[in-house]
Amino acid sequence: MSLFDGFLTAFKAISANGLRSFLTMLGLLIGVGSVIILISIGQGTQAGIKEEITNLGTDLLFISPGSSSESGVRGRRGSARTLFAEDVLAIREANLPGVEAAAPQLNIGNAQAIVGPLNQEIDLVGTDSDYLKVRNLSLSEGSFISSKDVSSGSLYMVLGSNIANALFPEENPIGKTIRTSFFNGRISFNFKVIGVLLPTGGESVQDDYVFIPVSSAQKRLKGLQNISGKTIINQITIKTSPNIDQETVSEFITEFLKRHHQVDEPDFTVTSQTQLLETVNEIGTTISLLLGSIAGISLFVGGIGVMNIMLVSVTERTREIGIRRAIGATGPDIALQFLIEALALSILGGIAGILIGITGSTLLNGYQIADTPLITIITPWSIILAFTVASFVGIVSGLYPAWRASLLDPITALRNQ
């Protein structure tokens, strides 16, 4: 029996029991579709993060508190308080080779901004005058935080474009006052708006930030100083000179800060954008495979369904098997026929699942979740993977029923019927 004849016979058997065949394929259809959709979500999330990092520029180094282990995982995450605003001043004064600018970043967290009847949750960041240069940002109007503002601890604010539009939809925010409430209203201050950033485009978080002098946060809010009075910060961003090896600059900074902190081993971590992108790639691939594996459970369940229906088919077609054996079909011929039927069911379910997966991913692309658009990217390898696994599941699920069918004795099969 040729493969063509085998598939032709298989499709006739499948069409003869249309509803049962559809219900059998349903598990595989859902499994393949889920694999494609979940992997596309993982790939889209990874691409969005990579775009966010790339949009920052290709000449940045990031210094974070806490040391790295040999595996590259930062120690004392969340509790490390080893980076200070004074470190930024020291780096600037040292004139290290390859360092063009350095800016502190203190992630103050969420606060409530109140303008008349409008109440908007904002994400406050403390920084200084170099932030614009380091992050390659521009102002649409007004001015940014100056060195004088930092030294005096002024209550000034610079708004990201989205926040400006939310709080001042129909008026110029420059010179306006925003009452900013912290800790569920227990503390509040009035900040004057001195500038608004140009939109960065895409989904950049910079458009949703509100910037204040880093010293203002230190003076107004408790818990942002250590016992020596130094201002604790979350990150220092370094802008490096063009066409310079970032690894070399990273080594200069590491050695300098070790001396400045008077430590033998770094109590901070210097990370380049290349390293960040590599980490994102690794995490993104892991997440995609994890999501795909979770969806693969449906494929496993679908495979059990194929096996069950093929075993039922063997029982129902005992007479047919006996007749075919009686006119010369061998055991392997019978086994091949049932194996082809199981594979045909899986192929049809796989094709339908691919169509469902592509349609679902397309519909989900841009869907808003917590005001953030979902990004889905359908990759050829996810389609090939899902289809290959579905076909493999079909073959494996059909092996036992095919073996059972091949062992039937023709005389016994005809007598039983």
Same domain, 97 and 221: yes
Q: How far is CA 104 from CA 64, 90, 308, in A?
A: 10, 12, 64
Strand pairing partners for 124? 109, 210
The DSSP bridge partners found for residue 103 are: 237
Cα 258 from Cα 99, distance rounded (Å): 17
Q: Nearest-CA neighbor of 110 among 227, 263, 238, 221?
A: 221
> CB–CB of 127/106 below 8 Å?
yes
The string of pLDDT tens digits covering residues 373-403 is 788 998 898 888 888 888 888 888 888 888 8
Does 401 lie in the same domain as 303? yes
Please identify, among 197, 231, 266, the residue that sits at the C-terminal boundary of a domain.
Answer: 266
Which residue shows structure tokens 């310079």? 244
DSSP string over 205-224: GGGGEEEEEHHHHHHHSTTS
224 and 366 together in one domain = no
Show the tokens assigned to 291.
């999501």
Domain limit, last residue, from 212, 240, 266: 266
What is the Cα–Cα distance from 70 to 61, expressed in whole angstroms? 19
pLDDT at residue 78, rounded to an integer: 41
pLDDT digits (tens, 9 = 90+) for 200-236: 866 667 888 999 998 887 777 655 555 556 778 899 9
Q: Which of 1, 38, 16 is nearest to 345 (CA)?
A: 16
Rounded Cα distance between 79 and 76, Å, is: 6
> What pLDDT is stored for residue 80 in this prediction?
54
Euclidean distance between CA atoms 88 and 104, whole angstroms = 6
Cα pseudo-dihedral 338, 342, 344, 348, rounded to 10: 160
Give residue 4's pLDDT: 65
Question: How many angstroms separate the CA atoms of 369 and 203, rounded?
Answer: 13
Cα 368 from Cα 110, distance rounded (Å)? 21
Model pLDDT, residue 228: 59
- Mapping DSSP to helix (H, G, I), strand (E, B) and coil, where does residue 91 land? helix
CA proximity to 363, closest of 41, 10, 9: 41
| CA dihedral over 73, 269, 287, 280, signed as positive or negative | negative
Contact residues for 272 (Cβ-Cβ < 8 A; gap 6+) = 60, 61, 62, 246, 247, 250
Token pair recorded at residue 238: 């370094």
Q: Which of 357, 307, 352, 355 is nearest to 22 (CA)?
A: 352
Low-confidence ranges of the chain (pLDDT < 70): 1-7, 10, 55-58, 68-81, 201-204, 221-229, 370-371, 412-417
Q: What is the DSSP letter of 157?
A: E
Nearest to 66 by CA among 43, 82, 88: 82
The one-character DSSP state at 268 is E
**What is the per-residue pLDDT for 79?**
44
Could you tell me the residue range of the domain that residue 336 belongs to?
3-52+279-416
- Looking at the fold, whether 117 and 169 belong to one and the same domain comes out as yes
- Let me know if residue 76 belongs to a domain: no
Query: Are both 293 and 260 inside the same structural domain?
Result: no
Q: How far is CA 400 from the centre of its chain?
A: 40
Which residues share a beta bridge with 359?
none
Q: Say how far apart CA 76 and CA 393 lie, in whole Å.
A: 45
- Is the domain of 217 the same as that of 107? yes
pLDDT value, residue 77: 42
Residue 306 included in any domain: yes
**Domain check: are 207 and 303 in the same one?**
no
272 in a structural domain = no
Are residues 170 and 246 both part of a single domain? yes
* Domain edge (last residue) among 266, 296, 322: 266
Asked if 67 and 222 touch (Cβ cutoff 8 Å), the reply is: no
